[in-house]
Amino acid sequence: MEIGETRRGQILVLTPVGRIDNETSPAFQAKLLGAVGTNGATVLLDMSKVDYLSSVGLRALMVASKQAKAVNGRMAVAGLHPMVKEIFAISRFNYVIQVFDGVDDAVAAWS
């Protein structure tokens, strides 16, 4: 799976592209866990190029979110595609993972 990587100050911004499902989730989870690491990193997922997220993809997000909390890091998502936003609401992930409208909103909030 293609996952872009940029820095906005202390924030590592990952930009996955396409669907996060059975096929792509293992690579997505591995990349995400590597980014969250063990030293309290701040990771933002720019989801503007993800058009679908299955339960397996949501599980990957949950695993990474738990790890981020365990190492005093931060992880959030931004720029949800309307359909992915619906999936977040239906699965109630919007209650357990911080959601920003866009990357700039996250950067402003975390600066």
Partner 1 sequence: MLVRFWGTRGSLPAPINHKTVRAKLREALLLARGRSLDTPETVDAFIDRELPFSVAGTFGGNSSCVQIDAGTNEFVVCDLGSGVRDFGHYVLAKHKPPQGLRFNFFMSHFHWDHIMGFPFFAPAYVPGNVIRIHGCHSIMHEAMVRQQSAPCFPVDFERLGATIEFVPLEPGRVYEVAGVSVRPMKQFHSGDSYGYRFTKDGKSIVYSTDSEHKFETVNDSYPFVEFFRNADLVIFDAMYSLAEAISVKEDWGHSSNIVAVELTQLARAKRLALFHHEPAFDDKMIETVFAETVRFEEISRDGHRVEVISAYDGLEIVI
Q: Binders of partner 1 among 76-105, rule CB under 8 A?
A: 83, 86-87, 89-93, 95-96
CB of 12 to partner 1, least distance (A): 23
CB of 22 to partner 1, least distance (A): 5
Residue 88's nearest CA partner among 42, 25, 20 is: 20
CB of 80 to partner 1, least distance (A): 13
- Phi, psi values for residue 14, rounded to 5°: -105, 135
Element (H, E) at 98: strand 98-100
- If you ran DSSP here, which 8-state letter would residue 101 be given? S
**For binding to partner 1 (CB under 8 A), which residues are involved?**
22, 25-26, 52, 54-56, 58-59, 62, 66, 83, 86-87, 89-93, 95-96
